[in-house]
Amino acid sequence: MGIPQLRRHLEPYAERAALEPGTAVLDGPALAYHVLGLCSRTARKTSPFEQPSYELLGRTAIAWLKQIQACGFSVSAIYFDSYLPGSKRPERVQRLLKSSRDLIKYHSAFLGGVPRASPHHAGDTNVDLFPNAWPTEKKAKPPAPPFLVPAVIDALRDSPEFGPLVKLVPGEADGFCAQHVRQHAGTVLTSDSDLLVYDLGEAGGVVFLADIDADMETQRLIAPQYRPADLCKRLSIKPDTGLQYLAFEISRDPHLTLEQAVEKSKTGEAASASPGEYAEFIDLYLSPEVASKFEPDQVPALDPRVSEIVLRSLRTSGTVTVISENDPGPQEYNDSALEMYLPFLLDYPSRTSAWEASKPTRQLAYAVLQLLRGSNIPSVAETRRLQSISSGLQIEVPGPTETDGLGASLLALLSNIEGGVGEFELVWVMLAIYQDIVMAIDRARGYPLSLEVLRQEARGKLDASSWDFLHLLAQTQATYYSLRMLRQILEFSAQHTGALSATLSELVQFLSRLPSLPDFPSPTTFAKTISSSLCADYEDAIPLIKSARQPQNSKKSKKRKFIASNEANPKTHDTTPTTTTLSTITALRTSLTTETTPLPVRFRALFSLKHLAASNPPTSAESLAAIDAIAAGFASPSALLKHELAYCLGQTANGAAIPHLTAVLEDVGEDAMCRHEAAEALGALGDERSLEVLKRFRDREGEEVVVTETCEIAVERIEWENGEGRKAERLRASDFSSVDPAPPMAQGQEEQTVEELGNALMDTSVPLFKRYRAMFALRDLASPPDLPTAVPAVLALAKGLADSSALFRHEIAFVFGQLAHPASIPALTAALSNTEEASMVRHEAAEALGSLGDEEGVEETLKKFLHDKEAVVRESVIVALDMAEYEKSNEAEYALIPEVKGTA
């Protein structure tokens, strides 16, 4: 996961040379993703059909390790984590949010279907193990293969040479890698800069996988080597705490130069100023949390995420305790529910998660966990594709007494399907289709997706690049993996408890024939399965599905709700505020309102509060607490922050924000930029009760022009929102979820062209509200960025930066921030560089450039204005650089919410 900038800062001080023969310890997950990069290097990143197969990934991992050993490194251990501490949960959720956001962006980029494989794609050929270059791809791309890490583990386990070296450890792999080299010396091969913060001992070192080159003539490896002991000497910092202080300084402020960070670390400045925060930071490295029941060699041979829920279930039962390396005493466990982090699938964002149809299989797996722990598990929180910060989807777990009956039902279902298909390999696909049909029937919503895809195939119209096809594939993969989870948990239960019932033993035997991961359905194989093997005539599937489902429909059977039904009897959501959520809001409020907190951190806290306010019922305690927390920030002296507070309140769709916004607008001593944003937010909320105050300040003599113009637009928006004319308008669907100051231009019988909208945009004879409507219509024609209209629309919008209204120019810059289109960079750079431009325009241009931070030269442009004479510009650049750092990194969603939007 790493500390941003730490590796870049230390790279000049690493020793780049031929590596001396020695012992290597592998960070397993890093190895898996490195191998994915190697296998994908020459593929088109935008096409899932060019992703490497699991067979190629496993084969490449073994070939790479063999080449490492041929070059003098003896691999002594390959560590994979099978349990992550609870402290990692926020980071994991944020990564999942980023993956969800990226999936939405990928879908938006290819609404009509994903790119097919190129005719020139070589497929599973030989892979260059030590390439000289790593091509980058800035276009939206699909998620990584969902079962990448377990597939690599399986391949390594099947290798006589490397199988004995694979170690699933009851904690983070990082900590065990560090412990290994600390005790036995050697070098950790990883991609994670966090390893530099651990105690590696005098002889321990780190080499980053992507840095490794090989000289095949001399059979030597060449790479920069990071030895903490040597780095401390070269930087003249303390050998015991120097790197830890340095990492802490950089983690708090990634924009520090190395010289600044080194000077601060020599005195432990940040650690002394925030001892509690430092203690929490360093505890992750000095005392990593592990589930202590099992030694590394005793952790069950499960997939990492399956192993994690097994260990957590034993941990909460008291079978497994939790210890820290420096504190052998057990630690208290506060989780109220077990969590299962499901692999991230390439599914259709507009449909229910592809994991939903196979939920009954996983419910049975979770029920088996109760046999291990000896007590009930009321529910398991599954984390799938997320739209917001969440504690996961609560999955009800059937009681221990129902487990045998549920196992018998599943076994009977599988046997019934086996009797109806010609090839045993199709049993699993047919089960996926069965589960899809059952889900559709139980929800009484629409035609089953599986039958629709089969109907397309029967008519010769199957489109394997369509999102419907990909979603059915993802559902089928979810069915396969849910069965794999069940089999592994049953096998471990038999090993741990000594025996299973006769029914569950028979079920394990049936599931032992489940295909291995390389034989799971994939984008390149699934269409063939459907077209040539499954159902030439899809109607043949219907009688089989009905006959398989018939026993489950008996009214006398209470077991069906766990085998066949998904949401037949949905429970009413508990609206009682959770202590966890309210505590989170309190913590976020503290971060937001504390003036010593770095501005980027305050912005992230603000966006999180905005999400909590918008995603909970308007009158709920959570929503009201989040709105109050945001409003508390108006006491800040920062105009930039206060204007952003007003924007976020306007996006909550909650009338409770109106009094706070009205107070800001009425405070004539407040910064005009903040008052303008408060007026715009009142317009976004659309409440007619705000018309009086908006009209009053629209017509107020001597009022700031930006406030007058904003009130004018807000009045028109509210009147449009509540008027009859709106109902007759036809609006183009937008990729953007923000509530804008004006709706896009209404569509006529023929869609307006970029030229027509550009003319409307620059027509100063009409009200600003109408010009804004043209502006947002142009924005929608520029997304996704590969639309033929995208670049012309961006260039048309750029002309608006020459308008006489600062408000109008500022809104153009805001729209550019939403679009994050490279074609806007020249116009934004010019606006920011013009010191005679209004500060509200320059600030917006800076933040818009931040959303383009992964584009060449943008970060350098922003840094030029870190010391600008205008405070709001300086602060905006700080926030923009933080956004730029996010854009260039693999961090989670910047604002913690997968929305396509910019800051205001």
Instruction: Give the annotated binding-site residues for Fe cation.
Output: 643-644, 676-677, 810-811, 843-844
Q: One-letter amino acid identity for 183? A: Q
Residue 71 Cα distances to 64, 161, 589, angstroms: 11, 16, 54
Cα angle for residues 801, 806, 807 (degrees, 5° grid): 105
Place of tokens 């010191």: 835
Structure-token pair, residue 780: 């929608």
Residue 649 Cα distances to 448, 611, 633, angstroms: 40, 10, 11
Binding annotation? 643-644, 676-677, 810-811, 843-844
Residue 327 Cα distances to 323, 476, 617, angstroms: 6, 45, 43
Query: Is residue 521 within 8 Å of residue 471, measured between CB atoms?
Result: no
Structure-token pair, residue 824: 């806007």
In a 13 Å sphere around the CA of 169, the CA atoms on its Cβ side amount to 26
Hey, is 625 helix, strand or coil? helix
Structure-token pair, residue 439: 């889900």
Question: Which element (helix H / strand E) includes 25?
Answer: strand 22-27
Q: Please state, in angstroms and rounded to a whole number, the distance separating the CA atoms of residues 93 and 89.
A: 6
Q: One-letter amino acid identity for 612? A: L
The closest of 24, 16, 31, 17 to 73, measured between CA atoms, is 24
Query: Is residue 438 within 8 Å of residue 430, measured between CB atoms?
Result: no
Hey, is 13 helix, strand or coil? helix
H helices of 633-733, in order, are: 639-650, 658-666, 672-685, 691-698, 705-722, 725-728
The closest of 393, 388, 141 to 895, measured between CA atoms, is 388
Q: Please state, in angstroms and rounded to a whole number, the distance separating the CA atoms of residues 385 and 102.
A: 11
The closest of 773, 814, 811, 812 to 795, measured between CA atoms, is 812
Strand pairing report for 15-18 and 220-225: antiparallel
Cβ neighbours around 376 below 10 Å, total: 11
Length of the chain equals 904
Residue 328 Cα distances to 93, 204, 284, 436, 795, angstroms: 29, 24, 15, 48, 64
Concatenating the DSSP letter of every residue in 390-401 gives -S-EEEE---GG
Contact partners, residue 570, CB within 8 Å, separation at least 6: none
End-to-end CA distance of the chain: 30
Cβ neighbours around 688 below 10 Å, total: 10
Order of all β-strands in the sheet with 213-215: 15-18, 220-225, 213-215
Cβ neighbours around 41 below 10 Å, total: 15
Q: One-letter amino acid identity for 180? A: H
Strand pairing report for 166-169 and 73-81: parallel
Concatenating the DSSP letter of every residue in 257-292 gives -HHHHHHHHHHTHHHHH-HHHHHHHHHHHHS-EEET
φ and ψ at residue 567, rounded to 5 degrees: -135, 35
Q: Please state, in angstroms and rounded to a whole number, the distance separating the CA atoms of residues 340 and 384.
A: 9
- The verdict on whether omega for the bond into residue 131 sits within 30 degrees of 0, i.e. cis, is no
Q: Please state, in angstroms and rounded to a whole number, the distance separating the CA atoms of residues 288 and 182.
A: 15
The closest of 32, 125, 129 to 71, measured between CA atoms, is 129
Query: Is residue 823 within 8 Å of residue 838, measured between CB atoms?
Result: no
Beta bridge partners, 379, equal 396
